[in-house]
Amino acid sequence: MLDSVFNPKSEMQTAAGVGSLQLRPLFGGALSAVIPYNITDVSEVREIPDNQEVFAHPHTDQSLIVELLEYQAQVADQDAARYHFEDIAGSNEAQEPGAFEVGNVVALPKGEVSLSECSSAWMLNGTQCVSKFNEDARNTVAIHLGLFRLPQFSTDILITFNDPQSISPDSSSASAAETHRDPWTVEDFQSTLKSLTLHNPGLFG
């Protein structure tokens, strides 16, 4: 585990008054962000790659993923969020015509994000038609993507909020679709993006 200067107790005050959010250390405390309080840490259920932190909503089929990816130097900043969105579509086998759509891509002003080390920050909204566990049934999922570019660390930090909009009755997610207790919101996701903070650059090697 990486040494860290992050102290949850001393920094928890920054999340005071946020309501449904809590300040949480990520990657052993090398990063932190405020995230919804009602989460399931997926690493406690199954093995997760070392470059990911994955959280699931306990009652809906929503998920939040924080991911450290190789910096794509060949991709211009304004195109990078779409690049990663399309890469996710490939992983979801949602690349056929009509299976994914980009809504909008906006730059996040550096004055509005805590990760001052990033060269640029972006937010993308889109949808993908995806199946779960290689099922035939496909669900329509709104994907909210936040991207922080850190060329000095050869890293792109990707935060993805998966928010199912239409669940096939034949999907294994159908039971979760019937429960909507305390769903996460786009505002929650935006708070996570804006609060992401680096405490230990040793995370990047």
DSSP string, 13-72: GGGTT-SSEEEEEEGGGTEEEEEESS-EEGGGTS---TTEEEEE-SSSS-EEEEEEEE--
* Burial group, residue 27, by CB count within 10 angstroms (0-12, 13-18, 19+): buried
Q: Is a pLDDT exceeding 70 seen at residue 16?
A: no
Q: What is the pTM of this model?
A: 0.81
| pLDDT in the model for residue 148 | 98
What was the pLDDT predicted at 1? 38
From CA 6, how far away is CA 195, in angstroms rounded? 14
Query: Per-residue pLDDT tens for 164-199?
Result: 877 654 544 445 545 556 789 999 999 999 999 999
Residue linked to tokens 């309501």: 19
- In the chain, the percentage of residues whose pLDDT exceeds 90 is 57
